Structure 1
Amino acid sequence: MSLDFLYQQLLLYMADRVDIVSDAANQAKEAATGTESVAETKWDTFGLENSYLAHGQAMRLVECESDMAYFRKFRFSESDTVALGSALLLVRQDGWRRIVILAAHCGGAEFRVGDQKALIVTPNTPLGKSLLTKEEGDEIIMKSRGVEIFAEIDRIFSAHV
């Protein structure tokens, strides 16, 4: 797998995310300002609830746009050890496989890269912390529903040919 292809898929995922959240923010704004939101009684809170939703969606849109800006400037690490910016293939004993991208934004996001799934992890999470400074072939312990499972760093992707 090439890092260029991974990066293209990452940017497509981020752009789709911004589009979806933008649509949701617009719908919430329309609901908050529409004629149906005008209070009919002093106990009618439909318009107020919609305005809270619109505000939340607008804030979520700002966050998604910030994530998009971060990933537009993002560069993959060229280190042989896992560091911020690393992309690696993590394989667990139970057959779970993910391309993991260690990044400062958008932790927990998951998207497809060809026939595989990619997961963005921040270094603030237990998984991110356990991956830092590891090398290819190193094992880490992951928890899944309270059960410890061994996972191996199968490969750290590099732009070097």
Structure 2
Amino acid sequence: MDKHWLQQQVLERLAEDLLQVEQAARAAHETATHEENIAENKYDTLGLEAAYLATGQARRAEAIRQAMAHWRQFRPRAYDARQGIQLGALVCLIGADDQQQQLFLGPDGGSMQLVCGAQRVQVISCEAPLGKAMLGKCEGDEVSLPGAPARQQLEVLWVH
């Protein structure tokens, strides 16, 4: 699986998310500033609520823009067994139930699931609990998922 293709998919999904959030922010702003929504008494809060929503949507849009900037600057490197799993690694984990999961460690803001053919790839950051647990591990190592109700043990099947 091509890491650069995965990176492009993340950027495309983030661009779609940004477009939706910007549209929602514009709609909330229009509602907040529309003359029919001027408060007539202290219980008339539609305009105020829309203003809060517009502010939240604007913050979300800025967070997505920052994530896109990080993902554009991101350069996935080839796996180096001496360093173990690092940012940019494509990892396959297998659990006790023989279920495999593929993970792509990327910068913050790109947490999503991608589909490549019949394979699903979960994109996570190195700041996610599982991402932190995998850092420095190599093929054959065990990864303990912290905070799971029952301590979950996963094995690193392969890394690219």
TM-score when normalising by structure 1? 0.83
SS in 1 for 2:151: strand
Deviation string 1:82-127 (CA, Å, 9 cap, x unpaired) is 01222222232335543322233116x2222223333233333321
Greater mean alpha carbon deviation, residues 60-69 or residues 96-105: 96-105
- For 1:36 and 1:89, the matched residues in 2 are separated by 55
Within 5 Å, give how 1:97-116 maps onto structure 2. Answer: 97-106=100-109, 109-114=111-116, 115-116=118-119
* Counterpart-to-counterpart distance in 1, 2:147 and 2:99: 11
| Aligned pairs for 1:19-34 within 5 A | 19-34=19-34
User: Could you say if the C-alpha distance between residues 121 and 46 of structure 1 is closer, same or farther in structure 2, counting changes exceeding 3 Å?
Assistant: same
Of the three residues 121, 125, 137, the one matched with 1:122 is 125
Per the TM alignment, residue 65 of structure 1 is displaced from its structure 2 partner at its CA by 0.8
Structure-2 separation of matches of 1:112 and 1:18 = 18
Output the CA distance in 1 between the equivalents of 2:5 and 2:128.
26
Q: Tell me, in whole angstroms, the C-alpha distance in 2 between the residues paired with 1:111 and 1:37.
A: 40
* Normalised TM-score (structure 2): 0.83
In 2 relative to 1, CA 94–43 (structure 1 residues): closer, same or farther, beyond 3 Å?
same
Cα displacement (A) at 1:42? 2.7
Asked whether the equivalents of residues 103 and 123 of structure 1 are also in contact (C-alpha less than 8 Å), the reply is yes
Tell me the amino acid that sits aligned with residue 43 of structure 2.
W
Give ranges in structure 2 of 5+ residues lacking alignment.
none
Letter in 2 for 1:31: T
Deviations 1:56-79 (A, max 9, x none): 100100000110111111111323
Mapped partners of 2:7, 2:18: distance in 1: 17
- For 1:13 and 1:71, the matched residues in 2 are separated by 11
User: Which amino acid is 1:33 matched to?
Assistant: T
Runs of 4+ in 1 over 3 A off after TM superposition: 94-98
In the alignment, the residues of structure 1 paired with residue 32 and residue 151 of structure 2 have an alpha-carbon distance, to the nearest angstrom, of 46
Percent sequence identity is 35
How far off its partner does 1:34 sit?
A: 2.1
> How many residues are matched?
156
